[in-house]
Amino acid sequence: MTALYIILGILGFIILLLICPIRIRIVYDGELRLRLGYLFLNFNILPKEEEKHVSVESSENKSPNKPKKKDNDLEKLQAEPKRDNDSENAKPEQEKKTNPILEFKDKHGLGGIFGIVKNLLDILAEIPKKLSRHLVIKLLDVKLLIVGQDSADTAIKYGYACSVIYPIVSILKNNLKIKKDNEEIVAGFLADETAAEFTFYAGIKPWFLLGTGISAFVKFISAIAKLR
């Protein structure tokens, strides 16, 4: 009975790890910052922390001068018969390793290779679509202050920014799960320079990542099996 409780506890712990979301935070306020988080762990991807190179001076151990060999030792060394290097270095010829890609090409031709590449690209193209269904965007905040050379240029750039940003956000809303979003695009007729702020905070459960990876792997293996 104790063993059953241990197994159930391990399974419960694994399920808990799979359902806890992986957090993704992207912030731009003049500097791009990217952070990944999982449970209580946080990893700063951007900006990269400067690696600290610690230089350790290695002290060389100076060995005392060895005494010169005596003439008797030299005579003994010269008297020793020379070994047959050819017999020692002679090694059995290793079998040539076969290249599975070349074997597959010889069997199926270039058409088989192209078929594998096409199947692989199709599988890779499906991965973002599947992951987008399970990606939950908790916050999408876009703030832009548009400033041009003069008032007319500012108005033109403001209109162009609105024609680009709002349709993109609309597409994201229709295809992704967005809990909270905010878009502020302002024409800065009295401002000095253009400014931008962007915040993206999302999460996805490892369960869906694992399932998508296993599904893609199985499809790829089955596609190769059909070509054999």
| Residue 77: predicted pLDDT | 47
Q: How far apart are CA 26 and CA 202, in angstroms?
A: 9
Q: Is residue 175 part of a domain?
A: yes
Give domain status of residue 166, yes or no. Answer: yes
The domain tally of the chain equals: 1
Residue 150 lies in a domain: yes
pTM score of the predicted model: 0.63
Give the whole-angstrom CA distance, residue 173 versus residue 25: 18
Asked if the peptide bond before residue 47 counts as cis, ω within 30 degrees of 0, the response is: yes
pLDDT along the chain (228 residues), means of 10: 86 89 90 89 80 43 49 52 50 54 65 74 81 88 90 90 90 88 89 89 90 85 70
Answer yes or no: is 153 within a domain: yes
CA count, 13 A, side-chain hemisphere, 56: 2
Give the whole-angstrom CA distance, residue 44 versus residue 46.
Answer: 6
**What's the domain range around 177?**
136-203
**142 within a domain of the structure (yes/no):** yes
Give the model's pLDDT for residue 99: 63
Residue 57 is predicted with a pLDDT of: 43
Question: Residue 140 forms beta bridges with which residues?
Answer: 181, 200
Assess if residue 190 is contained within a domain: yes
For strands 181-187 and 32-38, give the pairing.
Answer: unpaired
Cα separation, 30 vs 27, whole angstroms? 9
- The first and second tokens of residue 34, run together, are 């990217």
Q: In angstroms, rounded to a whole number, what is the distance separating the alpha carbons of residues 65 and 76?
A: 22
For residue 191, being part of any structural domain is answered with: yes
* Residue 152 belongs to a domain: yes
